[in-house]
Amino acid sequence: MTAETVAAYIRDRRADVEAALDSILPAPPDCPPPLADAMRYSLSAGGKRLRPILCLASADAVGGRRADAMPAACAIELIHTFSLVHDDLPAMDNDTMRRGRPTLHVVAGEGMAILAGDGLLTEAFALLAREPHVTDPLVVGRKLRVIEVIASAAGAIGMVGGQAIDLASVAPNGTGTTAIIDGAALQVMHAKKTGALIRAAAVAGATMGGGSTTQIDAIDRAFGDFGLAFQIVDDILDVQGDSADLGKTAGKDAAAGKPTYPAFYGLERSRTMAQECLDRAEATLRAASVADARLLGIGRWMVDRSN
């Protein structure tokens, strides 16, 4: 599969996800208009839609039905968007730009941003429980496993726990890191904060697609490495990228004294580490005979991206 074919696949799946996302949020009169507007503002801001695309690609890779994986794909994007809304708050990263426009708390206020994040998170699990609406015990069992996987990835042992480590790693005055973070702890932090939801997206798609235990395990391990590579590249782009290209404030991690891969290892070693993650992930998929060209292409896209 050529790079152009992979790009077309990503573009088509992104369009599928956008269409699905447009119909799942609660609306007035059931949901108060200010809250409905706030939730939609953040969800409709665009972005790469990496996680839901990955979920669908994993279902494809194991020969499953893409439609069965779409609810999980959308739920994961709701959770990811919730995390961005809360990460941008003054109490967290205190950022004013996300996906190329003002962050939600700048537009709607901190209180409404917190509520919108809460709403996005809880709607994700309502969607996972509701869809696909089937009575087949096999599919119902897959849904329950996916709910467990995503909840673990999003919660205290996953994304929320990673954000807690991140908060604890920066001195209160933002002038530097505390002694609790070293290179190993940095990897643990990112495996939770960023990698857990990427892995969950891949596992959810393979599970809903009816993948075997061997296939799901390989996809899980591979996207642990892909997820780490994604975060390393994110750290590199924070140093080298342009705010207009990134859609968020460049250089903010360094200015806040946050721990990053370039800060610990330098740019060149960080790039090498990302490539090593990519190599390990591809080897894992090939060894389990799930080296689907779409999955590999998405993995490479995660590492080669410029925003």
Mean pLDDT of 153-182: 77
pLDDT attached to residue 172:
58
Report the mean per-residue pLDDT for the chain: 90
Mean pLDDT of 4-19: 93
pLDDT band at 284, cuts 50/70/90? Answer: very high
E strand or H helix that includes residue 220: helix 213-240
Asked if 272 contacts 123 with a C-beta cutoff of 8 angstroms, the reply is: no
In the structure encoding, which two tokens stand for residue 81, read together?
A: 């968007």
| Highest mean pLDDT of the ranges 6-10, 113-117, 166-170, 240-244 | 113-117
Cα separation, 117 vs 225, in Å, equals: 28
pLDDT attached to residue 179:
46
CB 194: neighbour CB atoms within 10 A? 21
pLDDT attached to residue 241:
62
In the structure encoding, which two tokens stand for residue 204, read together?
A: 């959810």
Q: Tell me the three state secondary structure of residue 132.
A: coil
pLDDT above 90: residue 110: yes
pLDDT band at 183, cuts 50/70/90? Answer: confident
In the structure encoding, which two tokens stand for residue 136, read together?
A: 């087949």
CB 182: neighbour CB atoms within 10 A? 11
DSSP labels for 149-214?
HHHHHHSTTTHHHHHHHHHHTB-TTSS-B-TT--HHHHHHHHIIIIIHHHHHHHHHHHHHTT--HH
Cα separation, 218 vs 198, in Å, equals: 14
Summarize pLDDT for 207-227 with one digit per residue, the tens. Answer: 999 999 999 999 999 999 999
DSSP code for 250: T
| R_g of the chain, CA atoms, integer Å | 19
Summarize pLDDT for 22-51 with one digit per residue, the tens. Answer: 889 999 999 999 999 999 999 998 889 999
pLDDT band at 177, cuts 50/70/90? Answer: very low
pLDDT attached to residue 304:
84
pLDDT attached to residue 45:
87
Asked if 10 contacts 84 with a C-beta cutoff of 8 angstroms, the reply is: no
pLDDT above 90: residue 148: yes
User: Among 61-75, 82-96, 114-128, 284-298, where is mean pLDDT lowest?
Assistant: 284-298
Mean pLDDT of 5-13: 93
Summarize pLDDT for 74-89 with one digit per residue, the tens. Answer: 999 999 999 999 999 9
Mean pLDDT of 237-261: 64
CA distances from 238 to 55, 90, 160, 254, 270 (A): 26, 19, 22, 8, 13
pLDDT attached to residue 89:
96
User: Among 4-8, 135-139, 236-240, 256-260, where is mean pLDDT lowest?
Assistant: 256-260
Q: Tell me the three state secondary structure of residue 97.
A: strand
pLDDT above 70: residue 176: no
Q: Which residues pair with 102 in a beta bridge?
A: 97
Q: Which residues pair with 170 in a beta bridge?
A: 177
Residue 3's nearest CA partner among 228, 296, 306 is: 296
pLDDT band at 293, cuts 50/70/90? Answer: confident
Residue 50's nearest CA partner among 197, 152, 178, 154 is: 197
In the structure encoding, which two tokens stand for residue 254, read together?
A: 């360094």
Domains (ranges, CATH) in the chain? Answer: 3-304 (1.10.600.10)
pLDDT above 60: residue 243: no
Counting other chains too, the contacts that 135-143 makes at CB distance below 8 Å and 24 or more residues apart are 139/68, 139/208, 142/68, 142/207, 142/208, 142/210, 143/208
Summarize pLDDT for 273-283 with one digit per residue, the tens. Answer: 999 999 999 99
Cα separation, 234 vs 246, in Å, equals: 10
Asked if 298 contacts 219 with a C-beta cutoff of 8 angstroms, the reply is: no
CA distances from 181 to 178, 187, 260 (A): 7, 10, 10
pLDDT attached to residue 67:
95
- Alpha carbon 253 to chain centroid distance? 19
pLDDT attached to residue 250:
53
pLDDT above 80: residue 10: yes
